[in-house]
Structure 1
Amino acid sequence: MTEHHRPETTDAVRAIIRDAVAARTPLEVVGRGTKRGLGRPVQAAAVLDTTGLAGIALYEPDELVLQAGPGTPLAEIEALAAAHGQELAFEPADYGPLYGLPAGQGTFGGAIGVNIAGPRRLSKGAARDHILGITAVTGGGEVFKSGGRVVKNVTGYDLAKLLTGAHGTLGVLTSITCKILPRPETSTTIIVAGLDDARAAEAMSAAMGSPTEVSAAAHLPAPAAAGIAEVAGLGRAATCLRLEGIPVSVAERADRLSKLLAPFGTVARLAEEPSKRLWTAIRDVRPFWPTAGATEDTAPLLWRLSLAPMAGAVAVAAVRARLPGAEAFYDWQGGLVWLAVPADTPDAGAAIVRAAVRAAGGGHATLVRAPAAVRATVAVFEPQSAALAALSARVRQAFDPETILNPGRMAASN
């Protein structure tokens, strides 16, 4: 049976890691496991469960700052912030249903560990842009702190940003301090119906280049749009632009944006509540949730592509030419592409997908969902150049010299 540790303090985490180093026992660092399918399978003999490191230690609405343990449910943080008219502005996604798990189970540390950011990434940045400070324990069992409670505390090496997105391979977070921002008073979404992918990229570019302050831009081809109730009634592809702010401003900007986009096609407008539901569905990748009865082996394989906004449609067209069953939708003005390929695609189509990204100008392709056997043999993350791989190895060596934390998560060699 796998040994399971559930520490409740930083000192307890340090003791567990030091014992693991002494015994040369690798640890899988995990919260509620909603993102276990993201990355390579971890090669560990014991589990370090962070759910005991839970609770909101500090919340000062007037100062726009919150501090909580990594095991704190995101739902708890979001509910508290909402009660004060505030929110986590980077819109962390709920990836649980993407892997066939219940919704609403994600933790604060999980979102920070993989640097999740939703549709508002365009206007508010990624998760790492909102982290003010952390307390963590390295793979050598050393406790350290980085940053503080205000931006000006972040001087020298910003280790908080380094650990954000490290997938638990450099250290175990035990406390996280982040910015909490005011929640927009209202929102609406302008939808242009029936555009193909290339024309949609042009429409989103026009919207983002306008003074209407679009906070999110996405394009749902017809198959993806059909899976979201708020736009399914269109029966066609939907290019979606979100506006947020005070009511009078949103209404005026919505009129201007509708006129700007009228030459592209039929324009519709969503009210506040359906607009919120739409962007939650886009954030959580709802069009590619596994269908009822699907298993790890039968669900479509899912890629996450990051490239220049106007290049997304080019890359997808190249993939479809060789994998006719591929489906996609676009977020971040087209710079983020969710690409699903048939479950029986050999090697998850890695060579085809990455060649298409390179041909479209370059970027990153991450295999987000695939059976463990596939993730163990296919490069899940974008392969690094020799120089960058050497730098990454040196950083890992400095923080986790015995490769104790999440070995194998990022690359087979770690």
Structure 2
Amino acid sequence: MTTLKSEADVAAAVQDAKGPLVIRGGGTRLVGRPVEGDTLNVSGLSGVTLYEPGALTIVAKSGTPVSDIEATLAKENQRLAFEPYDLTGLLGTTSKSTIGGVIATNASGPRRIQAGAARDFALGVRFLDGAGNIIKNGGRVMKNVTGYDLVKLMSGSWGTLGVLTEVSLKVLPSVESTITLVIADLDPVQAVAAMSAALGSPYEVSGAAWIDGAVWLRVEGFASSVDYRAKALADLLASHGTITHNEDADWTRVRDAAPLHGCANVWRISVKPGDGPAVIAALPEGSHAVMDWGGGLVWAGHDTADAATHGHIQSTVATLGGHATLMKAPEALRAAVPVFQPEAAGVAALSTALRARFDPRGILNPGLMAA
């Protein structure tokens, strides 16, 4: 496996490919059906190429570690507002998550309910299609319009439509103060009721999760505003249980589904917030769960799941209009089941047509997202 150092190197490697290519950045998001082929390692494409704090814009090569970008932003008291989740702990990898992997998987964390998803902060991309052509789309400002929104299309495509080489992102200022309200000992139904009340309030909740049997509600901003909103929110939710304040709550535990790191099999399930409890109730005995996004995102873990368990979870989620992705499992199970939620016929036809257009040879992560 050769680590490529430039966009030209990546283009040449794609053009010269004689068979399937396994796209790798940091190697921290090894999700999907196992792909057999030559590894195309783009972690060598690293570095921030432009940072304009006043314009709230940063441009970085796709192999740049997220930690490097966060460190650069922190010097100017700025941040990635979409709070990308990190799978290194869940999958037990030692590499660093890269910004290309974040955008390719649309990795969005707890703050998505307030700020938006990763794709909402992607201003522009450069990537190689399956023929090795260099394509640029978008720009460095939010109002840039250049035809088809390939930025959004690439976000969440998991490297099946193109190989990202550079991304432009909008960033936001960091917050001055954070308080997390905690309501302990709630079941999933009670938890969603409390989170829904909080999210429906005017107090600008930036995180609403259920973890270790407790609801966490995050309020951020200027210190005086946070103090006022936290108190008002606590008064509003008094009927839901005893409320405590935690100024040091570690939201990376929610973001990265930390309570499930020891599980052999983990799913990331997206449904309507009110359906989170129904998903948890349908999980097989012995399962563990964390809810985020007010109940709209369920991380579920099980130690001895098989293909039947996976099929049961996906069919249950399908009836609710959601989707379930098998984020962690032994390779044999990932090879035997549809890791991503099967698409409806019309959507599947559209996906197939897009892949044929961007990757006519079918060499970019073939079969990763579908059989």
Structure 2 length as normaliser, TM-score? 0.97
CA distance in 1, matches of 2:278, 2:367: 33
Q: Cα deviation per residue 1:325-371 (whole Å; 9 max; x = unaligned)?
A: 1111100000000111232x231612221232244x32001111111
Q: Cα deviation per residue 1:275-302 (whole Å; 9 max; x = unaligned)?
A: 2x2x111111111112xxxxxxxx4311
The 8 Å contact of residues 40 and 410 in structure 1, kept in 2 or not, is answered as yes
SS of 1:152 mapped into structure 2: coil
Gaps (5+ residues) in structure 2? none
Aligned to 1:54: 46
SS of 1:216 mapped into structure 2: strand
Q: 1:18 aligns with which of 10, 15, 18?
A: 15
Aligned to 1:270: 246
Specify whether residues 30 and 208 from structure 1 end up closer, same or farther in structure 2 by C-alpha distance, changes over 3 A only.
same
| Distance apart, 1:91 and its partner CA | 0.5
CA distance in 2, matches of 1:348, 1:121: 32
User: Aligned partner of 1:125: which letter?
Assistant: G
Q: 1:281 aligns with which of 241, 253, 256?
A: 253
| Distance apart, 1:156 and its partner CA | 1.9
SS of 1:410 mapped into structure 2: coil
CA distance in 2, matches of 1:338, 1:133: 30
Aligned to 2:86: 94
Tell me how large the CA RMSD over aligned residues is: 1.2
Q: 1:375 aligns with which of 334, 352, 360?
A: 334
| Distance apart, 1:13 and its partner CA | 1.3
Gaps (5+ residues) in structure 1? 226-236, 291-298
Q: Superposed, which structure 2 residues align to 1:207-222 within 5 Å?
A: 207-220=198-211
Q: Cα deviation per residue 1:143-200 (whole Å; 9 max; x = unaligned)?
A: 1100000112134211011111111111111111000111111111011111111011
Correspondence 1:260 to 2:236: yes
CA distance in 1, matches of 2:33, 2:289: 23
Correspondence 1:325 to 2:317: no
CA distance in 1, matches of 2:85, 2:197: 27
Aligned to 2:219: 243
CA distance in 2, matches of 1:405, 1:351: 26
SS of 2:169 mapped into structure 1: strand
User: Aligned partner of 2:22: which letter?
Assistant: E
Q: 2:315 aligns with which of 333, 346, 355?
A: 355
SS of 1:67 mapped into structure 2: strand
The 8 Å contact of residues 82 and 109 in structure 2, kept in 1 or not, is answered as yes
Aligned to 1:139: 130
CA distance in 2, matches of 1:387, 1:240: 39
Q: 1:83 aligns with which of 71, 75, 88?
A: 75
Structure 1 length as normaliser, TM-score? 0.88
Aligned to 2:187: 196
Aligned to 1:29: 23
Aligned to 2:157: 166
Aligned to 1:229: none
SS of 2:43 mapped into structure 1: helix
Specify whether residues 135 and 169 from structure 1 end up closer, same or farther in structure 2 by C-alpha distance, changes over 3 A only.
same
Specify whether residues 144 and 358 from structure 1 end up closer, same or farther in structure 2 by C-alpha distance, changes over 3 A only.
closer
The 8 Å contact of residues 67 and 178 in structure 1, kept in 2 or not, is answered as yes
The 8 Å contact of residues 132 and 154 in structure 1, kept in 2 or not, is answered as no
Q: Cα deviation per residue 1:37-69 (whole Å; 9 max; x = unaligned)?
A: x1111121x111111110000000000000000
Q: Cα deviation per residue 1:259-315 (whole Å; 9 max; x = unaligned)?
A: 1111111100001xx12x2x111111111112xxxxxxxx43111110010111012
Correspondence 1:7 to 2:4: yes
| Distance apart, 1:316 and its partner CA | 1.2
CA distance in 2, matches of 1:106, 1:407: 22
SS of 2:140 mapped into structure 1: coil
User: Aligned partner of 2:45: which letter?
Assistant: L
The 8 Å contact of residues 86 and 181 in structure 1, kept in 2 or not, is answered as yes
The 8 Å contact of residues 137 and 143 in structure 1, kept in 2 or not, is answered as yes
Identity of aligned residues (%): 46
The 8 Å contact of residues 169 and 409 in structure 1, kept in 2 or not, is answered as yes
Aligned to 1:232: none
